[in-house]
Structure 1
Amino acid sequence: MASPGIEVELLVKGHSDLGEVAPEIKASERRTAVAIADLEWREMEGDDCEFHYGDGTNEAQDGDFPAVERSRLQEMLSLLGLETYQLQKLSLQDSLQISSDSMKNWAPQVPKDLPWNFLRKLQALNAEARNTTMVLDVPPDARPVEKESQMEEEIIYWDTADDISADIYSFSELPTPDTPVNPLDLLCALLLSSDSFLQQEIVVKMSLCQFALPLILPDSENHYHTFLLWAMRGIVRTWWSQPPRGVGSFREDSVVLFRAPAFAFVRMEVSSNSKSQLLNAVLSPGHRQRDCFWHRDLNLGTNPREIADGLVEISWFLPSGREDLDIFPEPVAFLNLRGDIGSHWLQFKLLTEISSAVFILTDNISKKEYKLLYSMKGSATKYYFILSPYRGKRNTNLRFLNKLIPVLKMDHSHVLVKVSSTDSASFVRRIRSIVAHVARSPCRRLSLEEMANAARKLGLKVDEDCEECQRAKDRMERITRKIKDLDAYRRDELRLQGDPWRKAAQVEKELCQVQWAGDPPEKHRAELRHRLLELRMQQNGHDPAWGVQEFITGVSSPSLGEKQYFLRWMEWGLARVAQPRLRQPPETILTLRPKHCGAVDFSEALWPEPLGVEHFLREMGQFYEAESCLVEAGKLPAGQRRFAHFPGLALELLLRGLPLELIDGSTLSTPLRWVTGLLKELHIRLERRSRLVVLSALGVAGTGKSTLLNTMFGLRFATGRGCGPRGAFMQLITVAESFSQDLGCDHILVIDSGGLIGGALTAAGERFELEASLATLIMGLSNVTVVSLAETRDIPPAILHAFLRLEKTGHMPNYQFVYQNLHDVSASGPKPRERRQLLDQPSDVSRAAAQMEKQGDGIRTLADLAFCDPERQHIWHIPGLWHGVPPMAAVSLGYSEAIFELKRCLLENIRNGLSNQNKNIQQLIELVRRL
């Protein structure tokens, strides 16, 4: 039995500050207490005190839960309308279709609306995505009463806490259509109904919204749990790295690869302290509370969880380089287990093996809990208890706590007492100091990949272990293993690019110019054609290099899943082996961190264009171009073609959401035969649904236009990879058949351009002319063009030239100018009078553009040029993306709302015919040739 003096001291200490801990136990008293405890335990239980758990199953859970628990998952899926997606999983393409709901800021009316509403909000980076609730047909005055009665029930429960051993989070009636769904249940149900690629998209978007991420997904119906390693693969984070000696710099890495100490927070039986609220407080710098982890005080937070118990979430603290905001000097991971450790022992066991320290929150430590924790004897993990003794059984707690102290190698500093009278800020500081102390000392530091290995050993399923994924990974590694030097690889493996393609592109441009010159000399045309054929014959004389052949085999796989896995693996593998040395921070930090970055010079790239999937596809395109050119000239029989199937392979990738290159980023030239071949294949594939609207985005590099398109439509255009021009890429969005007649098109082709020159025309030279041609081509193809202005009110000169050139042809797309305020999230947008001034006031750039296009001194304002009506919202103000300082800043709700309004306006313009006449694919092919 524990010493009475120790018991009294612990009870007295409970009244003190939140940072207070249980008293230090003298060595002699500890030895006596342990000896008595061991004797009593042997008398009660015998010598064997070890707790056994099964491999890959949850024996405690299986034995304790009634049979009805086994059907809760199916009940939840049926309630949410997701039961049809158990065999054929919900895909990313399903979630991105444009429908009538895409134009509505609608609230869910029935539970089956909840998953789709959550997905749309998450796609739009709406920070309130987890607040998704139904608008029930209930009288308004009925709801407060319901909430009041719920609070009374909680008070009654806590008054009798000492006599109740049930878990208030686990037991409830099965959900009904009138019962609000807990957001964590909604998340788990949606993830269990989604394929690997939609799971990955959900997790990436949650990361951008600074939500805690699902790491272990429970499946109580089938009694296996999944470690979500693949779902995390797409997350890349940037943080400030400060070595012990030396100059700090930004580091960028995948969250699955970098090592960091992890701290797990778990609940044992009942705890009157909320783990999630405590974690949010620990992760929140300054006075602003961040809700990374969902907790009981948030909307629907008190609704019972039906299927989410056993979920393990993860979130990171990442330093920004600012002392006033950096709680910890290095990245730190925090893990949160939902539910009681006794019912989810397998997850708890894993957390003890991957964490540097485990914090156990509980009100009661009884014989059952002691037996569970005794089985952790010999564990290398540090254990900390957070107790609330006035809500639990005081004497029993103390008795078993004294027994556990030597078993878990703890001392008095490992026991924290938190009651209602304790100062919360002081207690949070105490937790932070413990975390910082453990992180500074030699401790376990694991990457998510290493955590997944530990999960496998315990019998948990890892989502990345499916055969298709592993075959695709093996093929990627065979390719990337041979990449030692980027320049050498481009020269030896991607042989048709570089100088061969640049020379051929130049000859084709000259040939095009003489054809449009009017009565050109036939001799000159013949010379150009001869030179072009020579260059194409040289290209066609090569065979695809080994790496390109392996890539072609990967994208030719008959398994659609394996093909998608291979492309994702290639993106990450190439980014890993070809990662250039950063000269400045990446785009997301660059545009938001003027203190560290200083002035931005957009006239040159921050780093050379890295090697990517587009380079392998560009090589395939050049093989197709060279072969097609020779067939057209009669130099090669059509029956001897080897690469005629390449456009069909690329089209499969486009239909699966991969951006395809429309304009070459290295030469700013269009591979005409390759692009038309792609569009012809698209026309064949879409058959009767081939009506297109083309929507494009142009602007200065680093202005957030790619992020804007990705947020608006859920696309995958590259962001943060430098500020130099990278050509233009296209993605295809499907319009739901039920909405296509109303909208007037079957698909929307979205084109994202590389950055355009934002400086003076005189210094731009040939590069400017290329970009002016690029802007002309893109705007000429477009029905709708979004021009991103960022913080400057000057229209990029290449776009002004495109306006002037297109005006001569009579083609003017519907356009929207988007002013993105990248620094100040609270700044208000331009008012109608300011819009008129922006449009009416001629600038030096517009004067120079008019002179270069031989428009004389008759200066044109933008309003005259583009027939702009400022009252029709042609100019938009988009607030900053981040609310605060990255990498820990939350997404601004104003950004999401403004993007949604812009999207709705664009779709309304398309539906109302305000854009140029919609095209079919055949017309688009002809337009590409003409332009």
Structure 2
Amino acid sequence: HSAMGFKLFDDTAHNKYEAQQKKEQLLIKLNLTGKLKQKLKTADVLKISKPCTENDRVQTFLQRLLLMNYRARCGESGQINKTQILSVTDNDDEGDFYTDLSKSSSEEAVQSSLVHPMDVQMAVFHCSDSFLKQLIVTKLSQCQYALPLLVPDPFTGEIEFPLWTFRQIRKSWKSTDNSMKKIMVSFFRLGATSTSKSQLMNRLINEKHDTFFHRDCPGSSRNRLLMDGVVEIAWYCPSGKSTDHFTDCVAFCNLHGDAETHEKQLEILTEMSSVNVVVLGDQEKNKRSTKLQNLYKLSKPMICLLSEESSSVSQLRAGKYRIGIKNRNQSEVSAELRKTIGGLISKTFTLEKLAELSNIKVDEENEECKQGTNSAQTMTNFLDEKDISTMKETHFPCHGRLWKNWCQKNKELHRPQDSNIELTRSRLRTEMEEIREQQKAYGLTEFMESFIEKLNTQTADEMRYFLKWINIFLDKHSSDLSSLQKNYDDKWTKILNLKKKHDKSGQLEKEQTELEKISENLNAATFGLEHIFREIGQIYESHMSVKKNKKQAEKKLNKICLPKLAADLIISGYPLELMDGDAGHVPLIWVSAVLDELSRKLGDQRVFVLSVLGIQSSGKSTMLNAMFGLQFLMDGDAGHVPLIWVSAVLDELSRKLGDQRVFVLSVLGIQSSGKSTMLNAMFGLQFAVSAGRCTRGAFMQLVKVSEEMNGELKFDYILVVDTEGLRAPELAGMSTRHHDNELATFVVGLGNMTLINIFGENPSEMQDILQIVVQAFMRMKKVRLNPSCVFVHQNVTDVAAGDKNMEGRRRLQEKLDEMTKLAAKEEVYEAESFSDVIAFDVQEDVRYFAQLWEGSPPMAPPNPSYSECVQELKNTILKKNPNKNIFFLYPYIIHSYPYHSYIDHLLYTHICLCVFVCLTQLKMYFFITIHLYSSHAV
């Protein structure tokens, strides 16, 4: 008896050792040796690098995932199997059929050489730091994949709950039940079964998409190493329609492996869930299972799925049901299971409750994360006692009303209307100086002083946690805007009805005034991290602008190192706001200071500037976030670039970057047309947007080019510029066209390349944006700047329809030529076609994108064809004249340059962009002044 005990112990130890060896070999095969300690970082993944080969499973998985391509899990196993089939069937020897049939194949050897797709995902997860894990889980959620909830360490077995990785997950749904319950249903199996539990769960959630990976998925194999004991979670989100499977949001948890051998996970799930669903295999063995008996005795509802029986649903006792699933129609089984679960749902849960359970490790317990949480909580404590509609005015007095007033007077200064121009100018300058003095007098509020102090005293990782946490807390403060949104919608509906009736009583005007007030309240309640940095920019600008005690002010600013802080944040992947979208102004002093500092930090690096232009909500930011991940340049509330602040930040950034070559990519498009989604998919970014509203202003972010691509591309960084959308509804009646012209000229002038985003092919929308774009490029031509552009048509039904797309290209070329002739008259410029203004090939520079979603949200995954379109566009951007007009970031300075003049009734705006372009070979500097002007006629 004793000898048997030792033998059992020896076998267990040997099996454990063998499993450890296999896992180590897996990491070697995936080139992840040593990465369990030296973790992969976000910066490693987001670098612009050469396309990976199919054999590089890790990079292939990550690149596809960042592109929001749900085929990321599919491996190269199909090719291996094909090779194996050929090697078996290429035997021409004649022989007996039964003899050939009985020949053994090398299938097991082939299977053992394959890497299971989920092993790739989990190996990358284990080898990533906290921030990369969060990015991976966010992208998995966007692909409508299940997410790791309880994760055993592959070598120690310690179970971790990665709560931090869920912090950026956002789920939305429409419920017919106002209770807003969050329900959890747990699935696990006891014993071996012929039925796939994961496949059964997929049919409950989404019949058309494999939310949970199962045995019949492409690339699946039997040798799975890292998934045993892992619990995954996925949510079903109703759309508020009669076709919904469930009326509430339901979380489905899936324990992989036999629950008999994973006691701790089983205990946690049964404690947290509303309903337990058990898939039973060998009936005789299960009769002896104490775990099954204990589950049955629990007061919680329980459903037993019998894999060896084919009976329909039946009730055993109150809350206990059985369903046979052998040889039955799977749709019928799913319908019975849905109905049974729907009738048993009661208890609710939250992820935070799961973290409170004992004997479980939570990733947020590390010291740096706790320090970041505590610091962020301290900051948000300042806001708890304030009314959400007055918080910005209280804590950020410099960038609110005063800043908007200053921007307005600055515009009036350069667009004089009075006959006595000099007297008007003198008055306006005096008033602007008074506003700057008022801003300076406010100084640092207690909130801002605490925020800047924390940025200056924390380590790099503590600061990243701090900024992530404060963004989460601020979103919670400003995300509950449902009552304001409802008031806005109701008022807007009233106005539409009055317009239909051609109201003349004055009621329409009254309702419109009230709508504007609601809109202002909505804007005041929208509060995010970008508002804090706008305040920092205005604090800097006011201190640098007021002449009185200027040396003392500069000494104070040097002590708190504002531009240096902003430059460090840009280098670490946070965006900088270039232009304030509400004031329509660029804080040039601030932006210039930041870029100057950035240039000093980066050194001799070449930067490619990519901008994206499009109508509001055309998906510009999504595209950019997928590509890179930026911050803000223009203040979205004031619609103005804070010159002094941005100058200081750029100055500090310049110091850090030095002679790094930069390619600038900008994006422009109509509001809500998918700009940010496109950029996010392209570069793996997560563009910052205001809570509850679309992107406001202009944002920039740096993306590093890998050393292997550096020589080929001739630049060191891509500077991605995301912008607010054109034709924003909330700007209706506020010189929308005038604002759009300023924004387009600014964005086009800034970028080496501009992506012009068009949602669909609506003729009126296309004409609006093309008119603005042509005018902007013509202005660049007049000052001898030669940026390039690519037109992106989003949401095209059939991107492969060659004849149809050819006709679309022809119409676009005709429309561009037509707009060019009109713009040429306005600009007094000789041009007959768009090609006379900019080097443009309608065959190469027009892209058609498939629709983003494969089905109807909220349960629809992204369309893989969309991801492929994004990847093709990214390749085009990198190949299209990469060595032309590349800026050395220092001294790429933006600053104020007072100038006014009339040219054919065109009024110059307040912005003057001064760019020093340093030639690589001659080291000569050219000073170029770009006058950005707009016309009420265009």
Give the TM-score taking structure 2 as reference length: 0.76
1:323-338 alignment runs, 5 A limit:
323-324=242-243, 326-338=244-256
- Per-residue deviation at 1:513? 6.9
Query: What's the secondary structure of 2:699's corresponding residue?
Result: strand
Could you tell me which residue of structure 1 aligns to residue 710 of structure 2?
A: 740
Look up the match of 2:533: 617
CA apart distance, 1:543: 2.8
Selected match of 1:809 from 774, 783, 789? 783
- Alpha-carbon deviations, 1:383-429, whole Å to 9, x = none? 222123379xx9xxxxxxx9xx9xxx85796222221x322221111
Deviation at 1:706, TM superposition (A): 0.7
User: How far apart, CA to CA, are the structure 2 residues paired with 1:725 and 1:708?
Assistant: 14
Query: Structure 2 counterpart of 1:446, which letter?
Result: F
Is the contact between residue 149 and residue 162 of structure 2 (CA under 8 Å) also seen in structure 1? yes
Match of 2:367 in 1: 467
Return the match for 1:278 from 200, 220, 223: 200
Give me the whole-angstrom Cα distance separating, in 2, the residues matched to 1:909 and 1:261.
Answer: 51
> Offset of 1:834 from its aligned partner?
2.4
Q: Partners in 2 of 1:824 and 1:179 — Cα distance?
A: 39
Give the equivalent residue in structure 1 for 2:378: 478
Name stretches of at least 5 consecutive residues in structure 1 with no aligned partner: 1-58, 147-171, 246-257, 395-401, 587-598
Instruction: Identify which range, 690-699 or 790-799, moves more after superposition.
Output: 790-799
**What SS does the aligned partner of 1:923 have?**
coil
Q: Note closer, same or farther for the CA distance 1:390–1:773 as it changes in structure 2 (3 Å cut).
A: closer
* Residue of structure 2 equivalent to 1:317: 236
CA displacement at 1:698 relative to structure 2: 0.4
**How far off is 1:786 after superposition?**
0.3
Query: Quick one: distance in 2 between partners of 1:381 and 1:549?
Result: 52
Select which of 888, 891, 897 maps to 2:859. 888
Q: Does 1:565 align with 2:465?
A: yes
| CA shift in 2, pair 1:133/1:512, >3 Å | farther
Letter in 2 for 1:386: L
Partner of 1:656: 572
Which residue in 1 is equivalent to 2:561? Answer: 645
Alpha-carbon contact 1:693-1:919 (below 8 Å) kept = no
C-alpha contact 1:789 1:795 (8 A) present in aligned 2 = no
Q: CA deviation at 1:801?
A: 3.2
Of 789-798 and 234-243, the range deviating more from structure 2: 789-798
Deviates more, 1:558-567 or 1:742-751: 558-567
Query: Structure 1 residue 323: deviation in Å?
Result: 1.7
Please state if 1:89 is matched with 2:39. yes
> What residue in structure 2 maps to residue 51 of structure 1?
none
Structure 2 Cα separation of the partners of residues 62 and 141 of structure 1: 34
Please identify, of 860-869 and 669-678, the stretch whose mean Cα deviation from structure 2 is larger: 860-869
Residue deviations 1:349-394 (CA, integer Å, cap 9, x gap): 1110111111111222427951233444753322222123379xx9
Give yes or no for contact 2:81–2:110 (8 Å, CA) kept in 1.
Answer: no
Match of 2:903 in 1: none
Structure 1 position 124 matched with structure 2 position 67 = yes
Distance 2:111 2:344 in 1: 47
What is the aligned counterpart of 1:345 among 244, 250, 263?
263
For residue 165 of structure 2, what is the amino acid of its counterpart? A
SS at match of 2:790: strand
Alpha-carbon distance in 2 for matches of 1:525, 1:372: 84
Q: Deviation of residue 861 (structure 1)?
A: 5.4
More divergent stretch after superposition (804-813 vs 309-318): 804-813
**Is 2:850–2:866's contact at 8 Å kept on the other side of the alignment?**
yes
For 2:836 and 2:483, the matched residues in 1 are separated by 42
Q: Distance in 1 between matches of 2:671 and 2:355?
A: 38
* Aligned equivalent of 1:201: 135
Change (3 A) 1:829 1:579: farther
**Is the 1:781–1:924 Cα contact (8 Å) retained in structure 2?**
no
Query: 1:882 corresponds to which letter in structure 2?
Result: W
Q: Judging changes above 3 Å, is the alpha-carbon distance between structure 1 residues 720 and 892 closer, same or farther for their aligned structure 2 residues?
A: farther
Which whole-Å CA distance do the structure 2 matches of 1:819 and 1:584 have between them? Answer: 33
Opposite residue 316 of structure 1, the aligned amino acid is W
- Cα offset for 1:810? 2.4
Q: Which residue of 2 aligns with 1:23?
A: none
Q: Is the 8 A contact 2:604 2:888 kept in 1?
A: no
Distance 2:289 2:176 in 1: 42
Query: CA-to-partner distance for each residue in 1:731-788, whole Å, 9 max, x for gaps?
Result: 1100012211110100000000001127999x76544323322221221111010011
Match of 2:492 in 1: none
Give the counterpart of 2:726 among 741, 756, 764. 756
What's the secondary structure of 1:564's corresponding residue? helix
- Structure 1 position 826, deviation (Å): 9.3
The residue number in structure 2 matching 1:430 is: 336
Match of 1:248 in 2: none
Q: Secondary structure at 1:93's aligned position in 2? A: helix
Residues 216-267 of structure 1 show CA distances to partners (whole Å, capped at 9, x for unaligned) of 112131221111211111111111122369xxxxxxxxxxxx8521111112
Q: Measure the CA separation in 1 of the matches of 2:538 and 2:468.
A: 23
1:493 matched to 2:391: no
Which residue in the other structure is 1:447 paired with? 350
Aligned residues: 781
1:898-909 equivalences in 2 (<5 Å): 898-909=869-880
CA 1:131–1:725 in structure 2 vs 1: closer, same or farther (change >3 Å)?
A: closer
State the Cα deviation string for residues 830-868 of structure 1 (Å, max 9, x = none): 5223212212136997787666x4549x89654554443
**Contact 1:272–1:362 at 8 Å: present in 2 too?**
no
Say whether the 8 Å CA contact 1:625–1:674 is kept in structure 2: yes
Aligned amino acid, residue 188 of structure 1: M
Distance 2:585 2:429 in 1: 18
Amino acid at match of 2:787: P
Q: After TM superposition, give the deviation of residue 473 of structure 1 in Å.
A: 1.9
Q: Of 517, 526, 534, which residue of structure 1 is paired with 2:434?
A: 534
Q: How does 1:101-500 map to 2 (within 5 A)?
A: 101=51, 106-109=52-55, 113-133=56-76, 140=83, 142=85, 179-243=113-177, 259-284=181-206, 288-324=207-243, 326-365=244-283, 366=285, 370-376=289-295, 378-389=297-308, 410=317, 414-419=321-326, 421-439=327-345, 443-453=346-356, 456-457=357-358, 459-481=359-381, 482-483=383-384, 484-500=386-402
Q: Does the CA-based 8 Å contact 1:840-1:863 persist in structure 2?
A: no
Give, in whole Å, the separation in 2 of the partners of 1:75 and 1:467. Answer: 32
Q: Give the counterpart letter for 2:709 in structure 1.
A: F
Q: Which moved more, 1:683-692 or 1:727-736?
A: 683-692
- C-alpha distance in 2 between matches for 1:108 and 1:622: 50
| Structure 1 residue 67, shift from structure 2 partner | 2.7
Q: How far apart are the structure 2 equivalents of 1:725 and 1:199?
A: 25
Query: Matched residues in 1 for 2:110 and 2:768: separation?
Result: 55
Aligned to 1:881, what secondary structure does the other structure show?
Answer: coil
Shift of 1:505: 2.8
Checking the alignment, whether the CA contact within 8 Å between 2:190 and 2:278 is kept in structure 1 is yes
The superposition leaves residues 577-621 of structure 1 with CA deviations (integer Å, 9 ceiling, x where unpaired) of 1125248999xxxxxxxxxxxx9x999979537111011111111
Higher relative contact order, structure no. (Cα contacts within 8 Å, ≥ 6 residues apart): 1
Kept in 1: contact 2:280–2:286 (CA 8 A): no
- Partner letter of residue 426 of structure 1? E
Residue matched to 2:618:
none
Identify the structure with the greater strand proportion. 2
Q: Deviation at 1:94?
A: 0.9
Q: Distance in 2 between matches of 1:760 and 1:577?
A: 22
CA contact (8 A) 2:150 2:160 kept: yes
* Secondary structure of 1:243's aligned partner: coil
Q: Distance in 1 between matches of 2:317 and 2:366?
A: 41
- Report the Cα offset of residue 295 of structure 1: 0.5
In structure 2, the CA distance between the partners of 1:758 and 1:844, relative to structure 1 (3 Å rule), is farther
SS in 1 for 2:113: coil
Q: Which amino acid in the other structure matches residue 417 of structure 1?
A: G
CA separation in 1, counterparts of 2:323 and 2:402? Answer: 70
Amino acid at match of 1:307: L
Superposed, 1:671-686 pairs within 5 Å as 671-686=587-602
